[in-house]
C-alpha cells in the first residue's frame, strides 16, 4: 500500500514537474566535486605540499588523515572521476556549470598526472607541465636570451661580468632589514587600496604578515579560509625595493589573498561548490593563481605608477635615495623578459641534460643574479619542477586575456575579477 501510494505520488510529481523527477545534470557535478575533495585530501597525506589550502569540513580532513588510500587506489579514483565527468552531458548544464565542469576536468587530469609521478612515472618537462597545469610551455634555447642581455649591458655600463655588475648595482637598492616591515606594510596597503577601488572585497577579509627564513621561495600566501591569509616573506636573501610592491600585489591584492577570498565567497559559499575549498598546488588553478598574481602588479600600477609610488613613499621609508628610482626601475623592467629562462633551465636540468653546477651558472648568467640567488632558484626548481611556468607563461596568458578587454582600466579590472572569482581554466584565457 505504502509502495503504491509512493509510486502514485511520484507519477503525479512527474506529470506536474518533469524537471524534478530526474536529478539535474548539474547535481552529478556536486557528487564528483565531493569525491574530488576527498581524493585531494588523501593525496595530500601521500605527498607533503600536495594540498596548498583547505578550509572545507574539518571531518573530511580528519577522515583523509585517518585512512588515506594508497597511491594505486587514488590513481584508480582519478580515472573513475575523469570518466564520470566525461559522462556529464554539457548540453544539460547551466553556463556557470559548463565552466565548473571544465575546471574539474583540468583538476582531475592534474591529479592523474601528479599521482602517476608519485608512482614513479617519468614525464618530459613539457608533458609534465601540460598534465599538471593544462598548457604546453614553449621552451626557448638559452641563446634566445642573449639579445636581452646585450640590451641590459647598455643600462649597466662597466667592465667585467654582466651578472656581477647588475647584482652590484642592485645591492644599492636593498631594503635594510630593520625597514623591511614598514616598507612591506606600506606596499601592501597601497596594493589593497588600488584593488578595492575596482573589486568589492569580501567583508572582514584580512591577512597577517610574517618574516621567515630557510624556504625555497621568496614569498608565500597561506590561505586559511574565512577570507584570511598568512603572508610570509622570506628574508634569506636581501629584498630589493622593487620586490615590495611585487610581493604586496602577488601574495595579497589583487593576487593570491583576493583570488582565494573571492573563490570562497562566490563559489564555495554562494554556490556550495566544495571543490574550491581545496587547492591542490600542482593543478591548472596554480597557472591562474600565479599568472593573475604576477599580472596584478601591472594592473594595479599601470605605466609608470609603480616607480612613482616607490619613489614617493617606499624609497624614503627604506632610507634609499629617491632621485635614482627611475634608473633602477629601467633595469627591473629590462630584466622582466628574462623570466622564462627558468623554464629552459628547469627543462635542461630536470631532464639530466645539464648538471647542477651548469644550471646554477646558467641561472646566474641569464637571470642576472648572484650565485646565492641562483642556488635558491635551483632549489625552487628541484622542489616545484615545472611549476615555474605558472609565473611567466601564466602571466603572459592572463595579461593577453585581460588586455583584450581594451585600453579602459575599468574594463580590464572587470575581466581580472572574472578570472579570479569564477572557475577559470588556461583554455578560458585564450578567449
Ligand atoms: Zn604565488
Please report, in angstroms and rounded to a whole number, the separation of the first and last CA atoms in the chain: 58
Compute the half-sphere exposure of residue 208: CA atoms within 13 Å on the CB side of its CA.
Answer: 8
Whole-number Å distance, alpha carbon 304 to ligand 1 midpoint, is: 23
Q: Summarize pLDDT for 76-123 with one digit per residue, the tens.
A: 999 999 999 999 999 999 999 999 999 999 999 999 999 999 999 999
Secondary structure element (H or E) that encloses residue 221, with its range? strand 219-225
Whole-number Å distance, alpha carbon 217 to ligand 1 midpoint, is: 9
Task: Give the per-residue pLDDT at 159.
Answer: 87
Whole-number Å distance, alpha carbon 99 to ligand 1 midpoint, is: 23
Predicted confidence (pLDDT) at residue 278 exceeds the cutoff of 80? yes
Whole-number Å distance, alpha carbon 10 to ligand 1 midpoint, is: 52
The three three-digit cell numbers of residue 395, written as one number: 602571466
Whole-number Å distance, alpha carbon 219 to ligand 1 midpoint, is: 7
Query: CA-to-CA distance for 257 and 207, rounded, in angstroms?
Result: 8
Whole-number Å distance, alpha carbon 406 to ligand 1 midpoint, is: 26
Query: CA-to-CA distance for 402 and 144, rounded, in angstroms?
Result: 27
Residues 420 and 292: beta-carbon distance below 8 Å:
yes
Whole-number Å distance, alpha carbon 391 to ligand 1 midpoint, is: 8
Whole-number Å distance, alpha carbon 152 to ligand 1 midpoint, is: 26
Residues 22 and 259: beta-carbon distance below 8 Å:
no
Identify the band that residue 4 occupies on the pLDDT scale cut at 50, 70 and 90.
Answer: very low
Using left for φ > 0, alpha for ψ between -120 and 50, and beta otherwise, residue 352 falls in: left
Whole-number Å distance, alpha carbon 403 to ligand 1 midpoint, is: 21
Task: Give the per-residue pLDDT at 20.
Answer: 52
Whole-number Å distance, alpha carbon 383 to ligand 1 midpoint, is: 15
Task: Give the per-residue pLDDT at 216.
Answer: 83
Whole-number Å distance, alpha carbon 33 to ligand 1 midpoint, is: 25
Whole-number Å distance, alpha carbon 347 to ligand 1 midpoint, is: 20
| Residue 25: other Cβ atoms inside 10 A | 17
Whole-number Å distance, alpha carbon 5 to ligand 1 midpoint, is: 59
Predicted confidence (pLDDT) at residue 230 exceeds the cutoff of 60? yes
Q: What mean pLDDT is predicted for residues 317-330?
A: 95
Residue among 71, 81, 76 at smallest CA distance from 34: 81
Peptide bond into 147 cis (omega under 30): no
Whole-number Å distance, alpha carbon 68 to ligand 1 midpoint, is: 28
Q: Summarize pLDDT for 137-174 with one digit per residue, the tens.
A: 999 999 999 999 999 999 998 888 999 999 999 999 99
Secondary structure element (H or E) that encloses residue 262, with its range? helix 256-263
Task: Give the per-residue pLDDT at 21.
Answer: 54
Whole-number Å distance, alpha carbon 51 to ligand 1 midpoint, is: 14
Q: What mean pLDDT is predicted for residues 380-390?
A: 96
Task: Give the per-residue pLDDT at 212.
Answer: 96
Predicted confidence (pLDDT) at residue 270 exceeds the cutoff of 60? yes
Whole-number Å distance, alpha carbon 252 to ligand 1 midpoint, is: 10
Counting residues of the chain whose pLDDT is more than 70, the rounded percentage is 95
The three three-digit cell numbers of residue 331, written as one number: 633595469
Predicted confidence (pLDDT) at residue 393 exceeds the cutoff of 50? yes
Query: CA-to-CA distance for 27 and 44, rounded, in angstroms?
Result: 26
Q: What mean pLDDT is predicted for residues 324-347?
A: 94
Whole-number Å distance, alpha carbon 249 to ligand 1 midpoint, is: 10
Whole-number Å distance, alpha carbon 380 to ligand 1 midpoint, is: 12
Predicted confidence (pLDDT) at residue 13 exceeds the cutoff of 60? no
Please spell the DSSP secondary structure of 86-125, one letter per residue: HTS-GGGS-HHHHHHHHHHHHHHHHHHHHHHHHTT----H
Task: Give the per-residue pLDDT at 8.
Answer: 40
Whole-number Å distance, alpha carbon 83 to ligand 1 midpoint, is: 31
Whole-number Å distance, alpha carbon 385 to ligand 1 midpoint, is: 15
Whole-number Å distance, alpha carbon 377 to ligand 1 midpoint, is: 14
Task: Give the per-residue pLDDT at 312.
Answer: 98
Whole-number Å distance, alpha carbon 399 to ligand 1 midpoint, is: 16
Kindly list the domain boundaries of the chain, sorted by start residue. 22-122, 142-430
Average pLDDT taken over every residue of the chain: 93
3-state secondary structure of 209: strand
Whole-number Å distance, alpha carbon 400 to ligand 1 midpoint, is: 19
Amino acid at each position: 500500500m505504502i509502495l503504491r501510494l509512493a509510486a502514485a505520488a511520484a507519477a503525479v510529481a512527474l506529470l506536474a514537474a518533469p524537471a524534478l523527477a530526474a536529478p539535474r545534470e548539474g547535481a552529478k557535478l556536486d557528487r564528483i566535486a565531493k569525491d574530488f575533495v576527498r581524493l585531494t585530501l588523501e593525496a595530500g597525506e601521500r605527498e607533503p605540499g600536495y594540498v596548498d589550502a583547505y578550509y572545507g569540513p574539518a571531518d573530511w580532513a580528519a577522515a583523509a588523515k585517518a585512512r588515506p588510500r594508497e597511491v594505486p587506489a587514488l590513481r584508480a579514483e582519478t580515472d573513475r572521476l575523469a570518466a564520470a565527468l566525461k559522462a556529464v552531458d554539457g548540453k544539460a548544464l547551466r553556463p556557470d556549470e559548463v565552466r565548473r565542469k571544465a575546471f574539474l576536468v583540468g583538476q582531475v587530469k592534474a591529479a592523474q598526472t601528479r599521482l602517476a609521478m608519485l608512482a614513479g612515472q617519468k614525464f618530459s618537462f613539457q608533458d609534465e607541465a601540460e598534465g599538471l597545469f593544462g598548457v604546453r610551455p614553449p621552451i626557448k634555447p638559452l641563446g634566445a636570451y642573449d639579445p636581452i642581455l646585450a640590451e641590459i649591458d647598455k643600462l649597466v655600463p662597466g667592465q667585467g661580468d654582466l651578472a656581477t655588475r647588475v647584482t652590484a648595482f642592485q645591492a644599492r637598492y636593498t631594503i635594510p632589514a630593520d625597514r623591511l616591515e614598514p616598507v612591506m606594510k606600506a606596499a601592501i596597503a597601497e596594493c589593497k587600496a588600488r584593488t578595492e577601488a575596482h573589486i568589492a572585497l569580501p567583508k572582514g577579509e584580512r591577512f597577517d604578515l610574517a618574516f621567515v627564513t630557510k624556504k625555497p621561495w621568496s614569498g608565500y600566501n597561506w590561505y586559511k579560509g574565512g577570507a584570511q591569509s598568512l603572508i610570509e616573506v622570506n628574508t634569506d636573501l636581501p629584498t630589493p625595493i622593487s620586490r615590495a610592491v611585487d610581493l604586496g600585489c602577488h601574495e595579497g591584492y589583487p593576487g593570491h589573498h583576493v583570488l582565494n577570498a573571492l573563490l570562497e565567497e562566490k563559489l564555495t559559499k554562494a554556490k556550495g561548490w566544495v571543490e574550491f575549498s581545496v587547492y591542490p598546488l600542482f593543478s591548472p588553478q596554480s597557472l591562474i593563481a600565479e599568472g593573475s598574481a604576477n599580472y596584478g602588479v601591472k594592473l594595479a600600477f599601470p605605466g609608470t605608477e609603480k616607480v612613482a609610488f616607490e619613489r614617493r613613499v617606499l624609497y624614503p621609508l627604506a632610507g634609499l635615495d629617491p632621485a635614482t628610482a627611475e634608473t633602477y626601475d629601467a633595469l627591473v623592467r629590462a630584466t622582466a623578459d628574462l623570466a622564462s629562462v627558468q623554464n629552459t633551465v628547469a627543462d635542461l636540468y630536470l631532464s639530466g641534460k645539464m648538471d647542477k653546477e651548469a644550471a646554477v651558472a646558467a641561472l646566474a648568467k641569464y637571470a642576472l643574479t648572484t650565485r646565492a640567488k641562483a642556488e635558491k632558484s635551483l632549489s625552487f626548481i628541484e622542489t616545484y619542477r615545472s611549476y615555474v611556468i605558472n609565473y611567466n607563461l601564466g602571466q603572459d596568458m592572463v595579461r593577453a586575456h585581460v588586455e583584450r578587454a581594451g585600453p579602459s582600466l575599468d574594463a580590464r579590472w572587470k575581466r581580472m575579477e572574472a578570472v579570479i572569482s569564477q572557475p577559470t581554466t588556461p583554455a578560458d584565457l585564450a578567449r
